[in-house]
Structure 1
Amino acid sequence: MTTSNDKVAIVTGASRGIGAAIAARLARDGFTVVVNYANNAKPAAELVETIEKAGGRAISCQADVGDPQAIKRMFDAAETRYGGVDVLVNNAGIMKLAPVAQTDDATFDETIAINLKGTFNGVREAARRLREGGRIVNFSTSVVGLYQPTYGVYAATKAAVEALTHIVAKELGARKITVNAVAPGPVATDLFLEGKDQATLDRIRQMIPLGRLGEVDDIARVVSMLVGPDGGWINGQVLRVNGGVV
């Protein structure tokens, strides 16, 4: 287990799904965790309570990742309460699928605002404020390399996140800050399962050499490694955590 009792981690989109699993794992690893949420305070508060009952430290913090001032206020709150920030996990994202010809402007703009600009806002603030030796973990998707119909806008935002990751890793290396991306494959979250019937899910499972959908803890374990001592020399990488689907 990582022992990081003096370190602070912000996890965006942490009230449910993969983000909640990451926040819970980092709390078990010893990090003080800032549980970010966009709109629904209740599950974020429940996660904080669960972490505290297990002996960890956490606070919840509302912030729309697409708003740079909200991101700044979240960092301000963490610094005021805990003295600084060491880790940013840019997990918040949305996935609305449609063929490009049927994608309206509102869907395009919202996906860009959350998946790309939201990640940029977090990375920019972290680049200015993380303590030396900090870690940034962005979230991409294995769909970037699969080029499947209906994923056009979603995959495009995540491809941009990967490019940003590679570049910022070089920009922050002198401060011993690592920047990596995790690119999950199909993970059994509400975000992924929404709108998919059983036949579709069975077909997806057949694409995965390991024969199953991912679980949220599969992803949380990789993030734990990247932000812990074992990840100290991993930088500028995209880890495709996907059971072997290509």
Structure 2
Amino acid sequence: MANKVAIVTGANRGLGFAIVKGLCLKFEGTVYLTARDEKRGVEALTKLQTEGLTPQFHRLDVSDIDSVRNFADYIKTKHGGFDVLVNNAAILEWDEVYPSYEAAKRNVDVNYKSLLTIEEYLFPLLRDGARVVSVSSACGHLSNLKNKKWIETLSDTHLETESINNFVDEYLNSVKYGTFDKNDFADEGKHAEHRVSKIALTALTMVQARKYKNRNISINAVHPGHVKTDMAVGGGEIDPDKAAEVILYLILDASPNLTGTFMWHNRKLVDWLDAEGDYYCKGLW
């Protein structure tokens, strides 16, 4: 039997680091800590090694197609495939509440469009029965939207990736050409770029869950809570180790039949399609 392999993106600090640590303690197989910055990645690796843990490190910039392709080639050559993927890499330039086009595009490229690249190059290496967890947030719930056309599009039970891409591009064009409307979003459209990228991530999770269900691959999105990291506005409320627990649950303990869901940090399964619900991100900036 092939050695089981788990991969965590954006794992040199914060939540990603905590997920790797938890997997090293509980997952029976090889755990890859990946990060865009090799120096910081190696430092994180060394820190875990001093605690007696033995993850592997590989550089991975999820926003760089060549980097993703090279990593996929490495995994294919070294292991033939893998069993767990945690899409954790993300950015939030929180000092720009209403960002420039360039800042909005950076957020969308890293938080959402990188997942399309990962699906293209890494998903073919997922073994049957694999588990994928994409880290979303309260910003990723559909209730962050007020634009009825967008809600209707993303609520389609036959939603396809192309429609998600169209939604994302429509938002970016509104910023680029000065037609952005705060009323299209909850909370006066503050950090709409982050809401759009995380909504798109969650929607893509639902699409992927349908696409790969016949291979028994479990794919879910999760809101880990307002985690105490340097990316969190106001410092966060939940310790990374505590926040990692819900992700480790989805990987290690949840039913393999659980797929296409949006799980809250308390393990509650939230109806992602409840656009009128009180789940949207608020009061963090």
**Residues in 1 aligned to 2:110 and 2:133: alpha-carbon distance in whole angstroms:** 16
C-alpha change, 1:47 and 1:243, in structure 2 (3 Å) is: same
For the aligned residue pairs, the C-alpha RMSD in angstroms reads: 2.4
Question: Does the 8 Å CA contact 1:214/1:242 hold for their aligned counterparts?
Answer: no
Alignment counterpart, residue 185 of structure 1, candidates 215, 218, 225: 225
**Off by >6 Å, runs of 4+ in structure 1:** 242-245
**Residues in 1 aligned to 2:91 and 2:3: alpha-carbon distance in whole angstroms:** 32
* TM-score, with length taken from structure 2: 0.71
The number of aligned residues is: 223
Q: Which residue of 1 aligns with 2:31?
A: 33
Deviates more, 1:117-126 or 1:179-188: 117-126
One-letter code aligned to 1:180:
N
Deviates more, 1:144-153 or 1:83-92: 144-153
Q: Which residue of 2 aligns with 1:148?
A: 187
Question: Does the 8 Å CA contact 2:107/2:193 hold for their aligned counterparts?
Answer: yes
- Are 2:256 and 1:232 equivalent residues in the alignment? yes
**Residues in 2 aligned to 1:243 and 1:233: alpha-carbon distance in whole angstroms:** 16
Alignment counterpart, residue 111 of structure 2, candidates 107, 111, 115: 115
C-alpha change, 1:99 and 1:55, in structure 2 (3 Å) is: closer
**Residues in 2 aligned to 1:174 and 1:6: alpha-carbon distance in whole angstroms:** 23
**Residues in 1 aligned to 2:134 and 2:61: alpha-carbon distance in whole angstroms:** 16
SS in 1 for 2:244: helix
C-alpha change, 1:131 and 1:68, in structure 2 (3 Å) is: same
Shift of 1:139: 1.5
Q: Which residue of 1 aligns with 2:12?
A: 15
Q: Which residue of 2 aligns with 1:135?
A: 131
C-alpha change, 1:148 and 1:124, in structure 2 (3 Å) is: farther
SS in 2 for 1:44: helix
SS in 1 for 2:128: coil
Question: Does the 8 Å CA contact 1:143/1:185 hold for their aligned counterparts?
Answer: no
* TM-score, with length taken from structure 1: 0.81
- Mapping for residues 1-246 of structure 1, pairs under 5 Å: 6-30=3-27, 31-39=29-37, 41-54=38-51, 56-97=53-94, 98-100=96-98, 103-144=99-140, 145=143, 147-149=186-188, 150-193=190-233, 196=234, 213-241=237-265, 246=279
One-letter code aligned to 1:148:
D
Deviations 1:80-124 (A, max 9, x none): 333421111110000123343xx2121011111100111222233
SS in 2 for 1:15: coil
C-alpha change, 1:126 and 1:71, in structure 2 (3 Å) is: same
Shift of 1:55: 5.0
One-letter code aligned to 1:106:
E
Runs of at least 5 residues in structure 2 that lack an aligned partner in the other structure: 145-185, 269-277, 280-285
Question: Does the 8 Å CA contact 1:23/1:35 hold for their aligned counterparts?
Answer: yes
Deviations 1:107-157 (A, max 9, x none): 011111100111222233332110111111111111334533422110111
One-letter code aligned to 1:113:
D
SS in 2 for 1:180: strand
Shift of 1:158: 0.4
Question: Does the 8 Å CA contact 1:75/1:85 hold for their aligned counterparts?
Answer: no
**Residues in 2 aligned to 1:243 and 1:77: alpha-carbon distance in whole angstroms:** 34
**Residues in 1 aligned to 2:51 and 2:255: alpha-carbon distance in whole angstroms:** 25
Shift of 1:184: 2.7
